Amino acid sequence: MNILLPIEISLIAGIIFLLLPEKLKGFTKIVAPIIGILNFVLSIIIFFNYSIPLFAHRVVLTDLLSRFIFLGIGFFGFIVSVYGAGYVRKSKVESRKSKVEDINNNVNKFFAYFFLTLGSAFAIAISNNLIILLIFWGFLGATLYLMIQLGKEGANDAAKKSIIIIGASDVFLILGIGILWQLTRSFNITDISIAARYSILATFSFICFAIASFAKAGNMPLHSWIPPTAASAPIPVTAYLPASLDKLLGIYLLARCVLSIYKLTPGILAFLMISGALTIIFAVFMAMIQHSGRKLLAYHAVSQVGYMVLGIGTGTPIGMMGGLFHMLNNTLYKSCLFLGMGTVEKNTGTDDLDKLGGLSRKMPITLFTMLTASLAISGMPPLNGFFSKWMIYQGVINTFNTRNPFIPALCLIAALFGSALTLASFMKLIHSIFLARKRKNEDVEGTIRFRRRWTLIIPQLILAVACIVLGIFAYPVIINPVFRKIVPFTTTGMWKPELSAGLMIIGILLGLLIYGISRIKLRVTPPFIGGEQVTPAMKVSGTEFYLTIKEIGIFNRVYNWAEKMYFDIYEIIKKWIFYFSKIFRYVHTGSLPFYLLWIVIGLVIILIIM
């Protein structure tokens, strides 16, 4: 199978959809998922059996890592194309709203940008030539900007922020590639292997690549474009880019640098570990206090990148493969959560956790998918999130013998603590949406008839089942056939997910059996709130679970700093630029004599120097 075929199909489809009039959006809704499914099938075939055209032999990279990323891109292209076809149909809630996402009115544009993005992502995954990779990498920033703009109120500001942060990081990528050319006289990844320990320039070039990777994946401090994007962009866009493709490509670039392009020093690897650990902790604390479901998921998308960077930063085989496995797992459960949140919002008209509740009976399938994904992201066995985190922890522990154990110990504590706080956050999310009592005086649900739109439900189910399968059958499905062939590694200790899953199922069935035959009588008592009489208007909201954390001394100060944008590199740089621009405004008065005076002063200075 020609490895370039999915790229060609995606780019041609994107151009055709861009030229189609909006009157034919019904045709687009039917054809787009078919193309997404076709690309996924082709990516599966290519993973096992591929061919390369003669003209592309030097510029195409077909090792197992590239084909694995290629397959992942095809899978998420299929998932989001199917979901997007259902999402672009207006619901009754949206019809009653004055501020409707523009994606419903720009179906052809959405799928045009979607397939242009997909084709570019395919090209990046198999690019051996760094210049070709750079071209498509930059093109992805442009399509991200265009797709975010299809969102609701605030989308323009979010799009502008994303293009500035990612565009600025692309400048560093260009600089890093230029330095590599200067050092090696080659643009082909397979021809480059450079030891950063022997050259300051080589170290600086790696830092340039790391900046581009951090911005694309969303690692701190270049993460700040993700929360506003998640809050305002259409849900399919958020699930497609910040939650899946950008994570795949950003972490792929970092892994490619560590595995093949550079031989890094322990100091640089320690920098990656610390950066990952800080991202885990800071982002999960920000997620805990969010009242918006979208923003809560966005901060967790940032937090999970920290685990990937931490694993790769260990420099150990099991740690690096754990980071790559976690990259895949995160795209699965994070996309599932965003798609579930989109379905909730589609039916209720809001993602405000204070206004939601009581949806478990009306949306049982979405409850199952989001609960499964929530347990997976929290690292609960035997789901996939536990397996990849277990590998990362082993990678961190293995570094104790090769470097100062103080930094690995702190990073390990941060990772474990982050998992506990992640579980706490998702208890809040699931409770607020599905389990909390709904206030009778709220008109979020009103007379809405909840419909199971299967184009929205099926992608969620596929992702939830994938979280289960990749957790229980990780060894035969993904670890042995893929990761152990990329870099061979051994595990310490024993983890048999099939056995543990079987024991859990037996325990649950045994408990149900005992409950059924014991004739235990359950007593239902009215809620007790400090002796206060409970009224129908009262609601125990999940959003109140962790508000007291803001009252703790040091946390209160950190949260205040976050509200003032002290951790947002975009806002910091913007303030400095505006500060210096005010100075230059004073000399741009529009007065011709004033400009002539500056010319005379400049000439005098030049004459004095000469």
Selected residue with higher pLDDT from 95 and 361: 361
In the predicted model, what is the mean pLDDT of residues 155-164? Answer: 89
Examine the domain organization and report whether 308 and 366 are in the same domain: yes
- Asked if the structure places residue 458 within a domain, the reply is yes
Q: What is the pLDDT of residue 175?
A: 93
Question: What CA–CA distances, in Å, run from 319 to 2, 312, 322, 433, 463?
Answer: 33, 6, 5, 35, 25
Examine the domain organization and report whether 249 and 319 are in the same domain: no
Q: Is the confidence at residue 252, as pLDDT, over 90?
A: yes
**Of 249-263, 473-487, 514-528, minimum mean pLDDT range:** 514-528
Examine the domain organization and report whether 294 and 441 are in the same domain: yes
pLDDT band at 34 (very low <50, low <70, confident <90, very high): very high
- The CA distance from 31 to 82, in Å, is 10
- Asked if the structure places residue 203 within a domain, the reply is no
Q: Is the confidence at residue 305, as pLDDT, over 90?
A: yes
CB atoms within 10 A of CB 40: 20
Q: What is the pLDDT of residue 440?
A: 53
- Asked if the structure places residue 538 within a domain, the reply is no
- The CA distance from 89 to 93, in Å, is 11
The answer to whether 452 and 365 have CB atoms below 8 angstroms apart is: yes
Q: What is the pLDDT of residue 100?
A: 47
The answer to whether 460 and 343 have CB atoms below 8 angstroms apart is: yes
pLDDT band at 413 (very low <50, low <70, confident <90, very high): very high
Examine the domain organization and report whether 243 and 356 are in the same domain: no
The answer to whether 189 and 261 have CB atoms below 8 angstroms apart is: yes
- Asked if the structure places residue 204 within a domain, the reply is no
- Taking only the tens place, the pLDDT of each residue in 316-359 is 999 999 999 999 999 999 999 999 999 998 888 888 888 888 88
In the predicted model, what is the mean pLDDT of residues 255-281? Answer: 91
Residue percentage of the chain with pLDDT more than 70: 89
Residue 262: its H or E element: strand 262-263
Examine the domain organization and report whether 346 and 482 are in the same domain: yes
Q: What is the pLDDT of residue 291?
A: 86
Report, in angstroms and rounded to the nearest whole number, the Rg of the chain calculated over CA atoms.
Answer: 26
Examine the domain organization and report whether 357 and 246 are in the same domain: no
pLDDT band at 446 (very low <50, low <70, confident <90, very high): very low
Amino acid making up residue 288: M
Q: What is the pLDDT of residue 337?
A: 94
Q: What is the pLDDT of residue 55?
A: 83
- The CA distance from 493 to 462, in Å, is 31
Amino acid making up residue 450: F
pLDDT band at 193 (very low <50, low <70, confident <90, very high): confident
pLDDT band at 471 (very low <50, low <70, confident <90, very high): very high
Residue percentage of the chain with pLDDT more than 90: 48
- Taking only the tens place, the pLDDT of each residue in 369-387 is 999 999 999 989 889 999 9
Domain count, the chain: 3
- Taking only the tens place, the pLDDT of each residue in 498-528 is 888 899 899 999 988 888 887 777 777 776 6
- The CA distance from 408 to 400, in Å, is 7
**Of 123-137, 439-453, 579-593, minimum mean pLDDT range:** 439-453
Q: What is the end-to-end Cα distance of the chain in Å, rounded?
A: 68
Residue ending a domain, among 231, 254, 277, is: 254
- Taking only the tens place, the pLDDT of each residue in 1-23 is 889 999 999 999 999 999 998 88
Roughly what angle, to the nearest 10 degrees, separates helices 266-288 and 200-217? Answer: 20
Residue span of the structural domain in which 597 resides: 569-609
Pull the structure tokens for residue 306: 């920290």
Examine the domain organization and report whether 323 and 245 are in the same domain: no
Closest alpha carbon to 295 in 304, 286, 307:
286
pLDDT band at 99 (very low <50, low <70, confident <90, very high): very low
Amino acid making up residue 341: M
Q: Is the confidence at residue 198, as pLDDT, over 70?
A: no
Residue ending a domain, among 435, 460, 490, is: 490
Q: What is the pLDDT of residue 463?
A: 95
Examine the domain organization and report whether 250 and 269 are in the same domain: no
- Asked if the structure places residue 200 within a domain, the reply is no
In the predicted model, what is the mean pLDDT of residues 281-300? Answer: 90
Residues 264-275 as b/e (b if ≥16 CB within 10 A, e otherwise) read: bbeebbbbbbbb
Looking at 126-245, list the stretches that DSSP marks H as alpha helix, in order from N- to C-terminal side: 130-148, 155-184, 200-217, 226-232, 235-240
Examine the domain organization and report whether 290 and 148 are in the same domain: no
CB atoms within 10 A of CB 430: 18
- Which range scores top for mean pLDDT: 72-86, 344-358, 396-410, 574-588? 72-86
Q: Is the confidence at residue 445, as pLDDT, over 50?
A: no
- Taking only the tens place, the pLDDT of each residue in 533-543 is 666 666 666 66
The pLDDT mean for the chain works out to 86
Q: What is the pLDDT of residue 298?
A: 93
The answer to whether 136 and 123 have CB atoms below 8 angstroms apart is: yes
Examine the domain organization and report whether 99 and 66 are in the same domain: yes
Q: Is the confidence at residue 565, as pLDDT, over 60?
A: yes
pLDDT band at 154 (very low <50, low <70, confident <90, very high): confident
585 in helix, strand or coil? helix
The answer to whether 387 and 325 have CB atoms below 8 angstroms apart is: yes
- The CA distance from 107 to 114, in Å, is 10
- The CA distance from 439 to 539, in Å, is 6
Kindly tell me the sign of the dihedral angle through the C-alpha atoms of 274, 275, 276, 278: positive
Examine the domain organization and report whether 441 and 321 are in the same domain: yes
Q: Is the confidence at residue 86, as pLDDT, over 90?
A: no
Question: What CA–CA distances, in Å, run from 352 to 73, 132, 180, 429?
Answer: 31, 42, 48, 11
- Asked if the structure places residue 505 within a domain, the reply is no
Residue 263: its H or E element: strand 262-263
- The tally of CA atoms less than 13 A away on the side-chain side of residue 401 is 5
- The CA distance from 39 to 1, in Å, is 12
Selected residue with higher pLDDT from 92 and 282: 282
Contacts of residue 137, Cβ cutoff 8 Å, sequence gap at least 6: 120, 124, 170, 173, 212, 216, 249
Contacts of residue 535, Cβ cutoff 8 Å, sequence gap at least 6: none
- Asked if the structure places residue 522 within a domain, the reply is no
Examine the domain organization and report whether 159 and 271 are in the same domain: no
- The tally of CA atoms less than 13 A away on the side-chain side of residue 102 is 16
In the chain, what is the greatest distance between 2 CA atoms, to the nearest angstrom?
103
Residue ending a domain, among 474, 490, 506, is: 490
Amino acid making up residue 30: I
- Asked if the structure places residue 558 within a domain, the reply is no
